Structure 1
Amino acid sequence: MRLRLAFAFVSMAALLADPTAAMSQDLLSSVDLDSPEMTMSEMTRAEVDALLKAASQGDRHTVDLEGKRLSRLDLSGLDFSGGNLHLVKLNRTNLKAARFDRAVLNQAWLIDADLTEASFVKASLLGTQMQRAKLGGADLSGARITADLSGASLIGARLAGADLSADMRNQSMGLMRGVLKSADLRNADLSGANLARADLEFAQLQYANLANCNLNKADLAGADLSGANLAGVDFTETDLASAVLPSAAALAEARNLDKARNLSLARRPN
C-alpha cells in the first residue's frame, strides 16, 4: 500500500511538471529497480501454478495476482489468460510461451522479461513497463497497448489489429500511448494496427507488414522501413525525419505520404 501511494505521489508530481507525459511512463526515474520490491518474488513457481489451477476450477476461471512480486521466477508456459495482473512485478521473469490472452496487465512491470512466443491476444497493457523485453514471435493481436516497449525485441511478433494509439479522450494522467523507441520490429506483423501518435523513433521496421496501419501523427523519426509493406498505410502528419524509406513501389501503395511531416528529411530509396 505504501509503495502504491508513493507511486501515485511521484506520478502526480511528474504530471504537474510535464502534463504531456504519461503517468506510468515517468516512473523509471523515481523507482529503484534494484530494490527487493522490483527484483524478488514472494511466491514460488509451484505456488503460482497452484493458484492458476485453483482459479481454473472456480466460477470465474480467472486468477487474481494484482500487485504480486514475481520477478526473476521461471513461469514459462503457464496460462494467465483472463487474469488480473494489475501492478504485478515480473521483471526479468522467464515467461517463454506463457499465455496472457484477455488478461489485464495494466501498470504491470515486465522490464527485461523473456516473453518469447508468449501470447497476449486482446490483452490490456495500459501504462505497462516492458523496456528491453524479449517478445520475439509473441502474439499481441488485438491487444490494447499503451506500454513502454523501448528497446524491446519484437522480431517476427504479431500485432495485427493491436491498438497502440494515444488515448485522446482521457488525458488526466498524461498522454498515454504505445512507446516503441529503438524497438526491433523486423518482420513483425502490424497489419491493421492503430499506431496514431505512437512513438516509434529509431524503431527497426525492416520487412515489417504495416498494411493498412494508421500512422496518423506517429513519430517515426530515424526509423528504418526498408522492405516494409506499406499498402494502405496512412501517413497523415507522421514525422519521417531521417527515416529510411522502402522502395518507390512500396511508397506508392501508401496513403497521404504527401501529408507526412519532415518528408524532405527522410532518406528516399534510389
Structure 2
Amino acid sequence: MANPEHMELVERGAEALIAWRQTHPDVRLDLEKVDLKHVILSGMDLSGASLHEADLQGVNLVGANLQNVGLRGAQLQGADLSRVNLQDAHMVRVNLQAACLQEALLHRVHLHGAYLQAANLQAANLQHAYLQWAYLVDANMDGVQLQGARLQWANLQNANLSSANLQESLLEGAVLGHTVFHRTNLKAAQGLDTCRHLSASPLDAGTISLSGFLPNHFLQGSG
C-alpha cells in the first residue's frame, strides 16, 4: 500500500517535494496503486519512486524526472510524458496506449510486454532498452534511437520507423507488417532473418544504403 503522507506531499506540488527531499534524501516515495489522474506532475522529481500499478491515465508528466522509478503494471494511457527522464525505469507490462513520449530519455528502460499501441515515441532515446514482447502496433517511432535495444518478439505492425536508428538492435522473432522503413538504419541488427512478416513492409533506398548487408529472408519478407 502507498504511504498516505507521500501521496499528500505529491499533491502539494513540486516545491513541497523538493523541500522534503532535502531532508529525506534516502527515502523512496511509496505511491503504489494510487490514483494520480487528478495531480499535475509536470517537471516533478519522482526519481526512484515506487509507482507500481498506479493510475496515471492522461496525466501531464512533461519534463518530469522518473529515473529509476518502478512502474510495473501502471496505467498511463494517453499520458503526456514528453521530455521525461525514464532512464533505468522498470515498466514491465505498463499500459502506454496513445501516450506521448516525444523526446523522452529512455536509456535501459525495462518495457517487457508493455502495451504501446499508437504511442508517440518520436525522437525518443531508447538506446539499450528492453522491449521484448512489447506491443508497438501503430506506434510513431520516427527518429527514435534504438541502438542496442532488445526488441525480440515485439509486435511492430504498422509502426513508423522512419529515420529510426536500430544499429546492433536485437530483433529475433519480431512481428512486421506494413511497418514503415524510410531511411531506417538497420546496420548490424541481429535476428532480421527470423522476423515474422505478416504483410509487406517495403524498404526504401535510404534504408538499404544505411543498413549495409541485410539477410535475403528479411529482404524477401519485406516485399
Q: Shorter-chain TM-score: which interval?
A: 0.7 to 0.9
Q: Equivalences for 1:1-270 in 2 at 5 Å?
A: 45=4, 64-69=12-17, 70-71=20-21, 92-145=28-81, 146-165=83-102, 177-247=103-173, 250-251=175-176, 253-257=177-181, 259-261=183-185, 263-267=186-190, 268-270=192-194
Is the Cα contact below 8 Å between 2:6 and 2:30 reproduced in 1? no
Is the Cα contact below 8 Å between 1:91 and 1:110 reproduced in 2? no
- Post-superposition offset of 1:255: 2.1
Cα displacement string for residues 200-250 of structure 1 (whole angstroms, at most 9, x for unaligned residues): 1110000010010000001011101101111110110100011111436x1
Over 3 Å counting, the alpha-carbon distance change for 1:264 and 1:65 in structure 2 is: closer
SS in 2 for 1:212: coil
- Post-superposition offset of 1:103: 2.6
Over 3 Å counting, the alpha-carbon distance change for 1:104 and 1:235 in structure 2 is: same
Over 3 Å counting, the alpha-carbon distance change for 1:91 and 1:143 in structure 2 is: farther
Is the Cα contact below 8 Å between 1:102 and 1:121 reproduced in 2? no
Q: TM-score, normalised by structure 1?
A: 0.63
Cα displacement string for residues 148-176 of structure 1 (whole angstroms, at most 9, x for unaligned residues): 000000000000000011xxxxxxxxxxx
In structure 1, C-alpha distance between the alignment counterparts of 2:193 and 2:70, rounded to whole Å: 31
Over 3 Å counting, the alpha-carbon distance change for 1:97 and 1:71 in structure 2 is: farther
- Root-mean-square deviation (CA), in Å? 2.5
Is the Cα contact below 8 Å between 1:227 and 1:247 reproduced in 2? yes
Which amino acid in structure 1 is aligned with residue 184 of structure 2? A
Which amino acid in structure 2 is aligned with residue 206 of structure 1? Q
The total of aligned residue pairs comes to 186
Cα displacement string for residues 22-64 of structure 1 (whole angstroms, at most 9, x for unaligned residues): xxxxxxxxxxxxxxxxxxxxxx945965x99xxxxxxxxxx54
Which amino acid in structure 2 is aligned with residue 163 of structure 1? C
In structure 1, C-alpha distance between the alignment counterparts of 2:63 and 2:139, rounded to whole Å: 22
- Post-superposition offset of 1:141: 0.7
Is the Cα contact below 8 Å between 1:90 and 1:110 reproduced in 2? no
- Post-superposition offset of 1:66: 4.0
- Post-superposition offset of 1:142: 0.3
SS in 2 for 1:193: coil
In structure 1, C-alpha distance between the alignment counterparts of 2:7 and 2:157, rounded to whole Å: 44
Which amino acid in structure 1 is aligned with residue 187 of structure 2? S
In structure 1, C-alpha distance between the alignment counterparts of 2:188 and 2:33, rounded to whole Å: 41
Which amino acid in structure 1 is aligned with residue 125 of structure 2? D
SS in 1 for 2:87: coil
In structure 2, C-alpha distance between the alignment counterparts of 1:94 and 1:201, rounded to whole Å: 28
Identity %: 27
Over 3 Å counting, the alpha-carbon distance change for 1:47 and 1:199 in structure 2 is: closer
SS in 2 for 1:68: helix
